[in-house]
Amino acid sequence: MPSPEVVSALQTIGSNSAAEKPPQYAALLQGIATSSTANLTEDLKAYATALLDDSLGVVVLRPLLGAFVDQYRTIKDPDAKVEVGELVIGLLKQKGVGQFEEHDTQIKEILADSHEENHDFIKSAQTLQSITLDSTQKALTSDDRAKVWIRIVRCYLEEDDPTSAFTHLNKVKTVIHSVQDKDTKLMFQLSQARIYDSQRAFLDAAQAYYTLSLEADHVDEEERLQALSSAIVCAVLAPAGPLRARTLAKLYKDDRANQVEEFGILEKMFLDRLLSPAEIKAFAEKLQPHHLARTADGSTVLDKAVLEHNLLGSSKLYNNIGIDQLGELLGIDADKAEDYAAKMLEQGRLAGYIDQIDRLIFFEGEASGQRKTGHAERVMGKELRKWDANVQGLAEEVEKVTTMIQNQYPEFYASQMVH
């Protein structure tokens, strides 16, 4: 309940003439602000209700509402801010927000801050989404819109909702080319990287994080190294193949790479060395939950990335290997090893072919990165070319023998030709 003094003052103001009300409302608000009453929340709610229910004109009401917003901003308790803010937003909606867009926006931004203080990022995002960005009172710039949308993106990312975050990031993309604020641009880059990361588009995420790590003018050294670290993590988790190899090379050659914890595993992957279970376990302890989420076949993203890397590493050590032996080397059963190899061969991330009769995998140099129609078709084509070459060679040898007979025994050759 509001304090008796505030209730009495509001009743007095309500009975006065319209001309007397503005200074009296202003004086009462000042009194509420300077009092040490424990009923601050209830007093402000009563004041806002009376003010917005009054029949004051828009021109008179706007400065009074502006003063209220300034007082509302100073409330320390986030729960109290939420309670007062939600009431005022509802009252403004009933009165007609169009006449008080600027005040409505300010209250919603403060309310969103309070929700974030309470770690309720979904409510913060929903509050920000309700802000009018097509104002009739004020021409909003690309920076104004982008700042609101970026805040919404960050809120959804905090709640691990990359789909909703991506929707609002697309809105930022429509204006980012005209945004002037450097911090907003950096937050756009970081948000884009985090979304790629959450969606497991690890190569795109690695590139976005790496670009951010190069921003020496507006990002401090510690944050740049953190971005580089995230880029390495994403590159490690990316599907093995030529594209990842190029990303690993770029990161490995960066002079700062040896300053981050992930340099050891980066170096091994860049040099195509096999990873041990102990190294994988140590690396896994630093990963985020979505990096360790289970995929359709029951393995984690990390398990799949390491398995594909070790398979690619094996192709550097052997010209060919038995499917059973490959399974033992990778620590999985033979059928799963063959399945992974077949997929990588088909997608052009591994060069070679599978002989399913002899249960052997043959490796052939560097992969092209170009998707194939199927590794079985690749084997058939190779065998047909080999058969053609053998037939041609045999025909040439028969021709040589025939020529030698003609030269050495011309009479015999002529008699045979007659028949």
Tell me the per-residue pLDDT of 147-186, one tens digit each, with 9 for 90 and over.
999 999 999 999 989 899 999 999 999 999 999 999 999 9
Q: In this structure, what DSSP letter does residue 175 have?
A: T
CA distance 41 to 1: 9
Among positive and negative, which fits the CA dihedral 326, 329, 335, 338? negative
Give the rounded distance of the alpha carbon of 96 from its chain centre.
39
Task: Look up residue 168 and give its two tokens.
Answer: 């609002």
Least confident of 187-191, 320-324, 371-375: 371-375
Name the residue among 281, 284, 301 with its Cα closest to residue 293: 301
> Which of 8-22, 129-143, 253-267, 280-294 is the most confident on average?
253-267
pLDDT of 375 reads 45
**pLDDT tens, residue by residue, 6-45:** 889 999 988 888 888 889 989 998 888 887 667 888 889 9
Which tops the pLDDT comparison, 108 or 2?
A: 108
Task: Look up residue 197 and give its two tokens.
Answer: 């990361």
Is the pLDDT confidence value at 127 over 90?
A: yes
Over pLDDT 90: what percentage of the chain? 37
pLDDT of 274 reads 81
Angle formed at CA 279 by CA 239 and CA 283, multiple of 5 degrees: 65
List, in sequence order, every residue forming a beta bridge with 157; answer none if it has no partner: none
Is the pLDDT confidence value at 415 over 80?
A: no
CA distance 180 to 142: 8
Q: In this structure, what DSSP letter does residue 219 have?
A: S
CA distance 40 to 87: 14
Q: In this structure, what DSSP letter does residue 300 have?
A: B
CA distance 66 to 36: 22
Antiparallel, parallel or unpaired: β 352-355 and 320-322: unpaired
**Torsion angles phi and psi, residue 272, rounded to 5:** 60, 35
**pLDDT tens, residue by residue, 198-254:** 888 999 999 999 999 998 777 889 999 999 999 999 999 998 888 888 999 999 999
CATH classification code of 318-418: 1.10.10.10
Q: What is the dihedral of CA 414, 415, 416, 419, to 10 degrees?
A: 120
* Alpha-carbon distances of 112 from 187, 313, 361, rounded to whole Å: 18, 50, 58
Q: What is the dihedral of CA 122, 123, 128, 129, to 10 degrees?
A: 70
CA distance 206 to 36: 53
Q: In this structure, what DSSP letter does residue 160 have?
A: T
pLDDT of 17 reads 86
Task: Look up residue 266 and give its two tokens.
Answer: 């980066």
Residues in the chain: 419
Least confident of 112-116, 137-141, 162-166: 137-141
**pLDDT tens, residue by residue, 351-406:** 888 888 888 888 876 765 566 544 444 555 555 667 778 888 888 888 888 888 88
SS3 label, residue 361? strand
CA distance 216 to 330: 41
Look up the pTM and report it.
Answer: 0.72
Residue 208, CB-side half-sphere exposure with 13 Å CA sphere: 20
> Using a CB cutoff of 8 Å and minimum separation of 24, what contacts does 219-226 make?
219/186, 224/256, 225/256, 225/259, 225/260
pLDDT of 5 reads 87
List, in sequence order, every residue forming a beta bridge with 294; answer none if it has no partner: 300
**Mean pLDDT for the chain?**
86
Tell me what the mean pLDDT of segment 258-272 comes to.
Answer: 90
* Residue 91 neighbours by CB under 8 Å, 6+ apart: 48, 49, 52, 53
CA distance 188 to 116: 19
Per the CB < 8 A criterion, the answer to whether 242 and 368 are in contact is yes
